[in-house]
Amino acid sequence: MSLDIGVFDALLLTGVLLAAVAAVLVPRRTASVAVFLVFGLLLALLWARLDAPDIALAEAVLGGGVTGALLVDALASKQPHAPPRRLWTVVVGIVAGTIAFLAAACVVSRLSGPTGELPRLVDDQIATTGAEHPVTAVLLNFRSFDTLLEIAVVMAAVFAATAVSDRSWARELSASGELRTIAMALLPVVALLAVWMLIAGTTRPGGAFQAGAMVGAGLVIAHLTGTRHASTRGRWGEALIVVGLVAFILLAFSTAVAGEGWLVLGESWASAAILGIEAVLAVSIGVGLARIFLANRNEPGEAR
Amino acid sequence: MRYPALLPALVLLPLLLSAMVALVPRGPRRLAGAAASSITGVLGSAVVLALMIDGGSWEFALAGWEAPLGITLQADGTSTAFLALMTVVGVAVTVYAAAEPRLAGGPDFWPLWLVLWAGLNGVVVAGDLFNIYVMLELVTLAAVALVALGGRSAAAPALRYLFVGVVGSLLFLLAVALVYAETGTLDLLQVTAALEPGPVLTAIVALTLLGMGAKMALFPLHAWLPVAHPAAPAAVSAVLSALVIKAGVIVLWRIWFGLADDATAVRALGVVAGIAGAVAVFWGGAMALRSSRLKQIIAYSTVAQVGYFAIVLTLADGSAAGWSGGVVLVLAHGLAKAAMFLAAGTLAVAYGTDRLSHLHGAITHTPMTVAALGIAGISLAGLPPTFGFVAKWQLLMAAIEQGAWWWIGVLLLGGLLTFGYTAAMVRATFNRPGDDEVPAPHRVRSVLAVVPFTLAIASVVFGVFSAGLVDLVAEDPTVRGHG
Amino acid sequence: MTFVDLALLAGPAIMMIGLVGHLLIGDLLRRIIALNVASGGVMLVLLAVAAREDVPDPVPQALVLTGIVIMAAVTGVALALARRVDAVSDESEDR
Amino acid sequence: MIILMTLLLAVGAIFMIAGTAGLLRFPDLPTRLHAVAKADNLGLGFIILGLIVHTVSNGAGAGVVVKLLLIWALALLGTAVNSHLLAVREDDG
Amino acid sequence: MTPDAQVDYSIVPLLMLLTSLLPAGIIFCLREDQVRWRTTLNMAGAVAKVGFVVALIPPVVSGDKLRVSMPWVPGVDLVLVTDAFSLFFVALSAGLWLVTTIYAIGYLEGAPNRSRFFGFFSLCVTATTGIALAGNLITFLLFFEMLTLVTYPLVAHRGTKDALDGARTYLAYTLGGGVVLLAGVVWLTALVGPVEFTAGGVAAVADLAAERPGEATAIGALLLIGMSVKAAIVPLHGWLPIAMVAPAPVSALLHAVAVVKAGAFGIVRVTHDLFGLSVAGELGLLPVMAGFAGFTIVYGSIRALAQDDLKKRLAYSTVSQLSYVALGAALVSPLATAGALVHIVHQGMMKITLFFCAGLFAEVQGISKISQLAGVGRRMPLTGAAFTVGSLGMIGLPPLAGFVSKWPLALGGLDAGTTWVLPVLIASTLLNAAYFLPVVYALWRPEPDDQEAAVPAVPPRRRLEAPAALLWPPVVTAAMVLLMGVAAGWTYSPWGLAEIIAGGSYR
């Protein structure tokens, strides 16, 4: 990865910075969401430039896709009149921000060089983890506890969103003919992509999260285009959301009781376990994110 | 007698149970939730007992990978104390919520409560910095959802709490990033050994102070607490004030006493934190005196008590008495605050409101609840023979060891202020002459009075028989690490 | 002054922009957006740290992945709450 | 080969700029939609062609070419659907 | 105070605490109508405690102490020790608790919230016993603060506006004192480590006084100010007259025995058993305290003169009488110390008689003002007699207990060379006479005809002028006043014990 700053790099960084400032400053909601989507896209490019393809994928799908859908959907309700801050507080805020930035900058510049100790450890242990791609190995073997908790966070978010939203579920949207055909065309592609990304995860950038987000996006499209079976309501929906975490914990318990210890994946069956877990995680994240989207979906009017 | 393998179960079991309880239809969910919570409580107390008997500190490397690569969980004396608090208050809140669903916010309470409990246990035993970040997010998310259960008007406070929580988490995540950039490892013990004094360390400590200050509502960043805690259902606000605040406290203490050293910048931060703490004590107390609603008074009292936790940063620097005083203060505050909020909930059920002006006659009709409120207030004020007094005693000793007479003033005057608003609350429940016959408007189930009362009595019993617990906590590795 | 160093500086900058924006703005939706921007900034710091060597360090990349998913989940909840807050304020206004 | 590639990329860029200019200049929604949909897609097409030329000259396999074309196809599909929806909403909106 | 012979561990001190703690716990749970249960529990507790005291007097006088200790915080233990002086105070509080319980049961017949009342009543006695038995400063502080917290609901029992305000002022004063005391105790423990009360002063404290007199004086000042709030020494006495809003048994037990005596007891403990007289003298604590005490004696009596309300007058009289103890403790002479110690018991006995009678007058005749007392003695001869004995005792006439304590104080004053003590004592005796005699005279004066209408109609002539439970306690205590005066010579009389204890601190 060439470290010297090329024209493209300079453009990219300034683009990201400008998009960030614009996303925050622009007064109208719709414009702010639009600029934020651009910011998400540029960020994805930046991650690719920083040689982190997984993250670029995730940013594109999650940042742009799911969060974007949520934000655009939130535009439906009108912008309540929020009192503008007094000029004085704005100035103080900006000054404080710059001081904080300068402090952070000088701290960051004083950082000592990378020890590179952990990457070396990852490389010489990766053989036993059952996943060639280092990021997936870290996520699903070395630091599998973090991933487990992250799924718990998603599950908690789903509980929270459903608890907060009124119980009245968005009814099936009756969509016009064209949308239905689009859905027919798009959904299989999305499903295929999701499965491919899941499989690729063990060897190339990809994995549970990106696949999960794809599944989520697919479900959202399905819901918006009114296809019947896309509903994640009812017992099945709840079960699918929870299955990821339950499977992961049961795996942990079984390895603790039967295997050598919590979440210790034996070399022989590690890759199978990882793939299995990733599949279940993908389903759970997908249905979970879709459910969060649905929870936001019911228009306030209908909510009463 | 060492079972470090039990540590992950503290987090994973409640999560598993929460997932299962979520699948139970809304009707019998209360029963399932109560059963699940009691299982978690039993597990928690088993681990705490084993830790106490063993006395040492346990480490456990997850997924079989040692420190820098994998995630380790570690439980020392302090975590034992925090775990004990979370188990005791957890069980009490479970019984309370099971008895009166209205005070827990309906059936949605149970899965979120189990997730919250898992997160709290996780933060206390976590040994890896990023793991702490994820645990804190889990706790904040669950806590926000629980606050939102308090009805439609609770949405705004819940959102405000979420914003502050997430900002706090981001600041902490930046600190974690700096730690990794500087030392190349995320394990707490390795980081404390590897980090040398310098601008980076000061930045890390400052960011953690800011981040955790937001999460535990330390003075300048406290505005969300007096809005969020009263809006939540009673059982939830008890958990928030008694336990969730402590998650931020233990992370701040672990990192502060692990990393802080005699560098002037860090010492200056300590003074700033101390001043913020002192202002919090007096401001919280004054606001509590002025407010006219029970739950608001108790919420402001939390803001005041959090001020003490910040003062402990300077008091416990290198003094075992200060450290044990701080931890005992956390426990005493936990017990007392849970008792107070649950008692307020019971009074709200009995009298339909928590406005002080409408609580006349409560002392005759719900004597146990008012007694719980009074005793808890006495423990918060740090008056003998309660648990709070033990904490105040140790902190005063630490203050004198360091010759910091101004902290003595804050500690003593803060106690008086605390007693001021406790007396105001108890006084409001006396019956005006002649209306003794007016019964409480709604009958209250006895469980709702017994639970806060037992917590209050527990703080008296611990106050007298506190030797065992204080010894357990006194010699804590982080203090010896650099003290 | 390599690209990574520049990225390391841009990280805190974006974070500060996001945080200051979040604290100053009144409208809930735009505050959520500012929060996401800030989170992007922190992730940038982490990834810049990961990219300091020729072979990128997988550990911070895994952390960022987890962070992004958490931030998406939190944004979902925040939007649900914001929608309810707006709904409540609408009710109170038109009452 | 380099000349051909730069030529294609330049043409693509011009079309892109034209589309954006149209977006800014035209008064109402349908005309804007028209401009963006047509010009940008065409511009994208040329850019993709230029990229194909570039990758082929560097000895890339057929897979890369197929993927690039797939990207273009998806973009076309996306713009078509969006502009249709917006237009339909515009009429009965 | 007596030289500590062998100390053996026994749970007796703990049992003495439990005799009132256990009934308190149970009484709180009793319903209002379970009167019989409540009465038996109260009486059983009181009798058991008195039994313990009587059983313990011979062994303790002969010198052995019973001790129980429990670790509380690393390096600091909670200690209960039955030495002679602590037993002296427990005897007083146990005896008077028994008498006052009987009186309270009669007084609160049919009143609301009695379970709550008696629960806190027993807790209050537990605290007093704890204060007496406390072996070291921290245990003393623990029970001292507990006493404050437990007496607040008693003072505010009636729930009327002025009861609540009175209770709040009481709380403000006593809590402030508690905080000052806490500061002193922490400071001392931080410097010297946990200190146990030992006759004649603690060596470690003496060294501290030698090395850093400044700090030692400051600590001493803090401790004594903390104590003197409860001992109602002048600048800090404001709460006592206001706390008279409490029901009669409460003001009888609390403000004649428990609370104020705890303060006086604390002062004696600090000056004698902590610093030791010689060290306290050098640090200049004693003369300052003597001065304040002397001023309070005179000031209290003067204010008492001006009061028309009987209970207020008695309150101010308590303020002045208590400072006798403080004064005696501050004089470096065995006679004065013995006088001070015995005055604790005598003043308690006399003052409780007067409060009982005041309660009776209010309860039976509805009289609370001295001006209305004309001729009441004729209608309530026994109460009148008890009141008269009590008043004369307070003035200090020879055969009664008052004289037995004032006389050695005067002699002690001369012996210690602080000459101004004698005129103060004489002045206060005269003032006592000035505010007690008119009351006695009004009692026995034949009823003038014109006031006939003013006095409320007399209830039909019953065999006794008041319900038995209310009448006998004052008579018994009045008899005790007489007995203690006459039988002062007996070894186990209060005076005898006081002399033994006083001897200890001059070893």
Least confident span in A1-10, B154-163, E420-429: A1-10
Between residues B452 and A64, which one has the greater pLDDT? Answer: B452
Nearest residue in B to C21, CA atom: B167
The reported pLDDT for the residue numbered C19 is 93
pLDDT for residue B478 is more than 50: no
User: What's the whole-number average pLDDT of chain E?
Assistant: 82
DSSP helix/strand/coil, A270: helix
pLDDT for residue E452 is more than 60: no
Nearest residue in D to A182, CA atom: D81
Tokens of E326: 């403080």
From chain A, pick out residues whose CB is under 8 angstroms from the CB of B149: 163
C95 to chain A, closest Cα gap in Å:
14
Structure confidence at residue E449 as a pLDDT band (50, 70, 90): low
Please say whether the beta carbons of B15 and A249 come within 8 A: yes
pLDDT for residue B483 is more than 50: no
Counting Cα atoms < 13 Å in the Cβ hemisphere of A77 gives: 28
Between residues E366 and B49, which one has the greater pLDDT? Answer: B49
What ipTM score was computed for the predicted complex, to two decimals? Answer: 0.85
Nearest residue in B to E147, CA atom: B384
Touch of B by A (3+ CB pairs closer than 8 Å): yes
Closest alpha carbon to B188 in B319, B62, B67: B67
Same structural domain, E291 and E276: no
Report the relative pairing of strands B72-75 and E7-9 from DSSP bridges: unpaired
Query: Is B130 within 8 Å of chain A by CB?
Result: yes
Between residues A231 and C58, which one has the greater pLDDT? Answer: C58
E181 to chain B, closest Cα gap in Å:
11
Please say whether the beta carbons of A234 and A242 come within 8 A: no
Same structural domain, E291 and E274: no
Give the total number of structural domains in chain D: 1
Give the total number of structural domains in chain E: 2
Between residues B105 and B230, which one has the greater pLDDT? Answer: B230
E166: Cβ–Cβ under 8 A, 6 or more apart, which residues? E155, E156, E242, E243, E244, E245, E246
Compute the distance between CA of residue B114 and CA of residue A184 in angstroms, rounded to an integer.
41
pLDDT for residue E454 is more than 70: no
From chain D, pick out residues whose CB is under 8 angstroms from the CB of A185: 77
The reported pLDDT for the residue numbered B35 is 93
Structure confidence at residue A129 as a pLDDT band (50, 70, 90): confident
DSSP helix/strand/coil, E82: strand
C3-94: CATH topology is Helix Hairpins (1.10.287)
Compute the distance between CA of residue B110 and CA of residue B43 in angstroms, rounded to an integer.
18
User: What's the whole-number average pLDDT of chain C?
Assistant: 88
Query: Is A177 within 8 Å of chain D by CB?
Result: no
pLDDT for residue C38 is more than 90: yes
Q: Taking residues E380-408, what's their average pLDDT?
A: 82
Q: Which of C8, C19, C51 sits opposite A1 (nearest CB)?
A: C51
Q: Given a contact as 3+ CB pairs under 8 Å, which chains touch D?
A: A
Q: What is the pLDDT of residues D41-80, one digit of tens each?
A: 888 888 888 888 888 888 777 888 888 888 888 888 888 8
Interchain CB distance below 8 Å, A263 and B181: no
Helix (H) or strand (E) holding C26: none
The reported pLDDT for the residue numbered E460 is 47
DSSP string, B97-130: HHH-GGGGTSTTHHHHHHHHHHHHHHHHHB-BHH
Structure confidence at residue B84 as a pLDDT band (50, 70, 90): very high
Compute the distance between CA of residue E12 and CA of residue E19 in angstroms, rounded to an integer.
10
Could you give phi then psi for residue D66, rounded to 5 degrees? -60, -45
C6 to chain B, closest Cα gap in Å:
15
Q: Which of C15, C45, C77 sits opposite B141 (nearest CB)?
A: C77
Touch of D by C (3+ CB pairs closer than 8 Å): no
Q: Which of residues 29-88 of D touch A (CB under 8 A)?
A: 77, 81, 84-85, 88
C1 to chain B, closest Cα gap in Å:
17
Q: What is the pLDDT of residues B167-223, one digit of tens each?
A: 999 999 999 999 998 888 888 888 888 888 888 888 999 999 999 999 999 888 888
Compute the distance between CA of residue A10 and CA of residue A22 in angstroms, rounded to an integer.
18
> Which residue of A8, A182, A190 is the best one to mutate when testing the D interface, meaning the one whose CB has the most D CBs within 10 A?
A182
Query: Is B15 within 8 Å of chain A by CB?
Result: yes
From chain C, pick out residues whose CB is under 8 angstroms from the CB of B166: 35, 74, 78
Last residue of a domain, one of E226, E247, E282: E282
Q: What is the pLDDT of residues E212-248, one digit of tens each?
A: 888 888 888 899 899 888 888 888 888 888 888 788 8
Structure confidence at residue E45 as a pLDDT band (50, 70, 90): confident
Please say whether the beta carbons of B234 and B348 come within 8 A: yes
Q: pTM (2 decimals)?
A: 0.89
DSSP helix/strand/coil, A77: coil
pLDDT for residue A2 is more than 60: no
The reported pLDDT for the residue numbered E6 is 56
Touch of D by E (3+ CB pairs closer than 8 Å): no
Report the relative pairing of strands E7-9 and E65-73 from DSSP bridges: parallel
A18 to chain C, closest Cα gap in Å:
10
Interchain CB distance below 8 Å, C88 and B167: no
Interchain CB distance below 8 Å, B148 and C81: yes
Q: Taking residues E371-393, what's their average pLDDT?
A: 81
Q: Taking residues B307-311, what's their average pLDDT?
A: 92
Entry field: residues in chain A: 304
Q: Cα Rg for chain B, rounded, in angstroms? A: 21
Interchain CB distance below 8 Å, A54 and C61: yes
Last residue of a domain, one of E251, E282, E313: E282
Structural domain boundaries enclosing E132:
1-282
Interchain CB distance below 8 Å, A178 and D77: no
Same structural domain, E384 and E314: yes
Last residue of a domain, one of E249, E282, E315: E282
> Which residue of B21, B40, B141 is the best one to mutate when testing the A interface, meaning the one whose CB has the most A CBs within 10 A?
B141
Nearest residue in E to B390, CA atom: E73
A186 to chain D, closest Cα gap in Å:
9
pLDDT for residue C15 is more than 90: yes
pLDDT for residue A19 is more than 80: yes
The reported pLDDT for the residue numbered C13 is 93
Helix axes E468-486 and E84-107, enclosed angle (nearest 10): 150
DSSP helix/strand/coil, E10: coil
B283 to chain A, closest Cα gap in Å:
23
Query: Is B330 within 8 Å of chain A by CB?
Result: no
SS (H, E, C) E88-113: HHHHHHHHHHHHHHHHHHHHCCCCCC
For residue E451, the 8-state DSSP code is: G
Q: Which of B130, B155, B163 sits opposite C88 (nearest CB)?
A: B155
The reported pLDDT for the residue numbered E314 is 86
Structure confidence at residue C41 as a pLDDT band (50, 70, 90): very high
The reported pLDDT for the residue numbered D6 is 87
pLDDT for residue E458 is more than 60: no
The reported pLDDT for the residue numbered B129 is 92
Q: Taking residues B425-443, what's their average pLDDT?
A: 71
DSSP helix/strand/coil, A173: coil
Q: Where are the domains of chain C?
A: 3-94
| AA letter at B326 | G
Q: Which of residues 42-71 of C touch B (CB under 8 A)?
A: 42, 45-46, 49, 59-60, 63, 66-67, 70
Q: Where are the domains of chain B?
A: 283-483
pLDDT for residue E463 is more than 70: no
Which residues does residue E349 pair with via DSSP β-bridges, in sequence order? none
pLDDT for residue B435 is more than 70: no
Q: What is the pLDDT of residues B407-421, one digit of tens each?
A: 899 999 999 999 999
Query: Is B167 within 8 Å of chain C by CB?
Result: yes
Least confident span in A8-17, A148-157, B430-439: B430-439
The helix/strand count (H/E) of chain A reads as 13, 0
Q: What percent of chain E has pLDDT over 70?
A: 94
Q: Which of A150, A260, A261 sits opposite B134 (nearest CB)?
A: A150
Q: What percent of chain D has pLDDT over 90?
A: 0
Structure confidence at residue A168 as a pLDDT band (50, 70, 90): low
Closest alpha carbon to B220 in B308, B170, B280, B140: B280
The reported pLDDT for the residue numbered A3 is 57
B249 to chain E, closest Cα gap in Å:
23
Q: What is the pLDDT of residues E322-336, one digit of tens each?
A: 888 888 888 888 888
From chain A, pick out residues whose CB is under 8 angstroms from the CB of D84: 178
Peptide bond into B385 cis (omega under 30): yes
B109 to chain C, closest Cα gap in Å:
16
pLDDT for residue B45 is more than 90: yes
B251: Cβ–Cβ under 8 A, 6 or more apart, which residues? B123, B132, B136, B172, B208, B212
From chain B, pick out residues whose CB is under 8 angstroms from the CB of A146: 71, 130-131, 134
